Amino acid sequence: MISKFSRLDVVDNSGAKLVSCIHVYSGFKKRYAITGDKILVSVKQLRSKRKSTSKVQKGEIYSALIVQTKKSIQYSNGVSRKYFNNSVILLNKQLKPVGSKIFVGIQNTFRYTKHLKILFIAPGAVI
């Protein structure tokens, strides 16, 4: 579960390495976000190799989509998912991914959302 001021890893090639959550979307007085939710983030740290050619800059604000959380989530079919870290993908104002490549496998549940493009640029889908 992701709340305000949580630090998250970025798993795309946008150039950002670490971001901090500013706001959790999708609900009145919603405190926590889970996998598949959108949040508002601020870039805190850039990848060292890509500082000069980065698509993002430190301190900029972006929307992000949560793809992995440490907290396990139980689905209605009995499957539970748990990962080693909290990870996001940065989105632009049109809700398209900033990066052109994703480094981790994405859950198959993104197939039924409006973020289908993210599933296509990921290396694989986790069932």
pLDDT in tens, 48-71: 876 777 889 999 999 999 999 999
Report which of 120, 123, 27, 12 is spatially closest to residue 64, judged by C-alpha positions. Answer: 12
Alpha carbons 68 and 88: distance in angstroms, whole number = 7
How many other C-beta atoms can be found within 10 angstroms of the C-beta atom of residue 47?
Answer: 14
Provide the number of structural domains found in the chain: 1
Nearest to 93 by CA among 51, 61, 125: 61
In a domain, 64, yes or no: yes
Q: What's the average model confidence in pLDDT over 11-30?
A: 90
Q: Which residue has the higher pLDDT, 115 or 9?
A: 9
- Asked if 61 contacts 41 with a C-beta cutoff of 8 angstroms, the reply is yes
- The answer to whether residue 61 sits within a structural domain is yes
Q: Does 119 map to a domain?
A: no
The pLDDT tens digits for 71-88 are 988 878 888 888 899 999
Domain-embedded: residue 36: yes
Asked whether the beta carbons of 47 and 16 are under 8 A apart, the reply is yes
CB distance 67 to 51 below 8 Å: no
2 assigned to some structural domain: no
pLDDT bracket for residue 9 (50, 70, 90): very high
